[in-house]
Amino acid sequence: MSLKVKDIKNIMEEFAPIKFKESYDNVGLMVGDSNEEVTSILVALDCTLKVIEEAKKKKCNLILTHHPLLFRKPSSITTETLFGKKIIELIRNNISVYSSHTNLDSVKGGINDVIMDILGFEGSKTIDLSPNRETGDNNSGIGRVAELDKNITLKELCCKIKAALGIPYLRYAGEDSMTIKKIAVINGSGQDYFYSAKKLGADCILTGDTTYHYVSDYSEEGIGIIDAGHFGTEWACIKVVAKKLENRIKEMGFNNDVIISESTKDPYKFK
């Protein structure tokens, strides 16, 4: 018996049920045949052309991404668009793509919890609980907020985050010496949850993709803002999830490789 695409689909959806995705999102098998046998699996943040080329070179016929390749319904699939080139190249090379996005963010043990573990923040609570959670599930949802065991300055916290996430830079707003007692963390783009984080008493918010006016206003209210980037707040976590997938595959008696993409890079550069 060999590992099939549908087995990976089942593993991912057992861990991160599709019902936990946000209403605007699209998750699941994006491209491919669920009955196709899997050779090796390439794990990436996005399905870029470079990632597709890497999958071809490394003989991976399944790409697992966090960000969905098919986010909005396309009007056409041709080589005249970047999206069309990707789809055609995937089909031409018999490569499947599975994406687990906001459902993977939400669940217990998912991206939200992984980043809290990486940063060493214990006893966190969910900022925005999923409306689709079961009775007694007080974890599934977007964002986490935690009381710190020991107070830390904003400057010290920035250094800690850079080291833990393995990122060379971040942006932040607030006085270097301000004391942080409670932190909210929303991986990826988290501005929509700033108000909820403030209501829960957070005096610092860690996320990515912040914009000027949001940061200016909340900083003026005395809340520290740390923007570690969309890539920075997710890629380290996805690599942890990849290890969980690899362990589950081995538990099932298969020895297929789960390979971390080397071509997955932060698109931003700073001088």
CATH (residue range 5-104+235-260)? 3.40.1390.30
Residue listed under structure tokens 């071509």: 263
pLDDT(271) > 90:
no
Q: With bands split at pLDDT 50, 70 and 90, how would you rate the model's confidence at 266?
A: very high
- Considering only CA atoms, give the Rg of the chain: 19
DSSP state of 132: T
CATH (residue range 108-227)? 3.40.1390.30
**Backbone phi and psi for residue 151, each to the nearest 5 degrees, phi listed first:** -60, 150
Strands (E) in the chain, as ranges, are: 28-31, 41-44, 62-65, 96-99, 125-129, 141-153, 171-173, 179-189, 204-208, 224-227, 258-260
Provide the mean pLDDT of the chain: 96
pLDDT, tens only, 55-91? 999 999 999 999 999 988 788 899 999 999 999 999 9
Domain ranges within the chain, ordered by starting residue: 5-104+235-260, 108-227
Q: Are 216 and 201 in contact (CB under 8 A)?
A: no
Q: Where are the alpha helices (DSSP H) in 139-200?
A: 154-165, 194-199
CA torsion sign for 20, 228, 46, 63 is negative
Q: What is the pLDDT of residue 214?
A: 93
pLDDT, tens only, 205-237? 999 999 999 999 999 999 999 999 999 999 999
pLDDT, tens only, 153-206? 999 999 999 999 999 999 999 999 999 999 999 999 999 999 999 999 999 999
Query: What burial class does residue 22 get, using C-beta atoms within 10 Å of its C-beta: 0-12 exposed, 13-18 middle, 19+ buried?
Result: middle
**Domains 5-104+235-260 and 108-227 belong to one CATH topology:** yes
pLDDT(123) > 90:
yes
Q: What is the pLDDT of residue 72?
A: 81
pTM of the model: 0.96
